[in-house]
Amino acid sequence: MKTHLIQFKMVAGVWFIAATLFLSSCYSYRVTTEAQAGAEASKPVTAHALFWGLVQTPTEIHTPVCDSLGVNGMAEVTVKSNFGYSLITVATLGIWSPVQIQWKCSKPCKKTGEI
């Protein structure tokens, strides 16, 4: 009887771990504007929050492509996490929390009229 209980616990544990790995997904937050469509998306940048947000790296994310276009805004910003990042955050009790950040620059305004 005890061997059946041990086998059941082992099978249940394997199913739980498999379900956790295969049914988990990443999450993302997206901030966008409908007023102006965005240009191409940037390469993702991984940002790290350490010690529950007291230390952040990088402290600022620069957007050289947006600056070179001469636009003053972003059309869309996406912050993503995945299972691995969430596992790191839980395992370190929030001491280290990585996320990926990606953005789209606003397109330059069309010139109208004559100069």
106 in Cβ contact with 75 (< 8 Å): yes
Q: Give the pLDDT band of residue 115 (cuts 50, 70, 90).
A: low
**Separation of CA 37 from chain center:** 21
Q: List 68's β-bridge partners, or say none.
A: none
Omega into 98 within 30° of 0, i.e. cis?
A: no
Ranked by mean pLDDT, which of 12-16, 34-38, 48-52 comes out on top?
A: 48-52
Query: Taking residues 4-19, what's their average pLDDT?
Result: 80
* Residue ranges per structural domain of the chain: 26-106
Residue 92 has pLDDT above 80, yes or no: yes
Residue 1 has pLDDT above 70, yes or no: no
Q: Give the pLDDT band of residue 25 (cuts 50, 70, 90).
A: low
Distance CA 112, CA 115 (A): 9
User: DSSP 3-state assignment of 46?
Assistant: strand
- What local confidence, expressed as pLDDT, does residue 10 receive? 84
Distance CA 81, CA 28 (A): 6
pTM comes to 0.62
What is the tens place of the pLDDT at every residue in 45-88?
888 988 988 888 887 777 776 767 666 677 788 888 888 888 88
